[in-house]
Amino acid sequence: MSTETVTAPGRAVTATRTRSRKAPGGPKTPWYLWVAVAAIVIFCLFPFYWLINISLKTGNDLQGSAIIPPHPTLSNYKSIFENSDFTSALRNSAIVALVTTALALVVGSFAAYALARLRLKGKFILLGIILSITTFPQIAIAAPLFKLWSDIGIFNTLIGLIIPYLTFALPLSIYILVSFFREIPKDLEEAALVDGATNFQAFRKVVVPLAAPGLATAGILTFIQTWNEFLLAVTLTSSSRARTVPAAIAFFTGATEHEVPYGSISAAAVVISVPLILLVLLFQKRIVAGLTAGAVKG
Phi, psi of 83 (to 5 degrees): -85, 110
Rounded Cα–Cα distance for residues 298 and 206 (Å): 23
Rounded Cα–Cα distance for residues 76 and 207 (Å): 48
Under 8 Å CB-to-CB from 201, ≥6 apart: which residues?
Answer: 192
Given a contact cutoff of 8 angstroms between Cβ atoms, the answer to whether 185 and 259 are in contact is no
Q: Within 10 A of 56 (CB to CB), how many other CB atoms are there?
A: 21
Residue 291 has what pLDDT?
61
How far is residue 199 from each of residues 36, 77, 191, 204, measured CA to CA in Å? 52, 52, 11, 9
Rounded Cα–Cα distance for residues 237 and 186 (Å): 46
Closest CA to 178 of 203, 211, 220, 132: 211
Rounded Cα–Cα distance for residues 145 and 138 (Å): 10
Given a contact cutoff of 8 angstroms between Cβ atoms, the answer to whether 263 and 76 are in contact is yes
3-state SS, residue 254: coil
Ordered domains of the chain (ranges, CATH): 2-55 (no CATH), 80-291 (1.10.3720.10)
Counts for the chain of helices (H) and strands (E), in that order: 16, 0
Ordered DSSP codes for 113-128: HHHHHS--TTHHHHHH
User: Which pLDDT tens digits describe the chain residue by residue (298 residues)?
Assistant: 444 444 444 444 444 444 444 445 556 888 888 999 999 999 988 989 999 999 998 888 888 788 888 888 999 999 999 989 999 999 999 999 999 999 999 999 999 998 888 887 877 888 888 888 878 888 889 999 999 999 999 999 999 999 999 999 999 899 888 888 888 888 888 888 888 888 888 888 888 888 888 898 899 989 999 999 999 999 999 998 999 999 999 988 876 667 788 899 999 999 999 888 888 888 777 666 666 655 444 4
Phi, psi of 198 (to 5 degrees): -80, 170
Rounded Cα–Cα distance for residues 275 and 137 (Å): 27
Rounded Cα–Cα distance for residues 76 and 61 (Å): 13
CA atoms within 13 A on the CB side of 104: 35
Residue 297 has what pLDDT?
45
Rounded Cα–Cα distance for residues 182 and 208 (Å): 12
Residue 7 has what pLDDT?
45
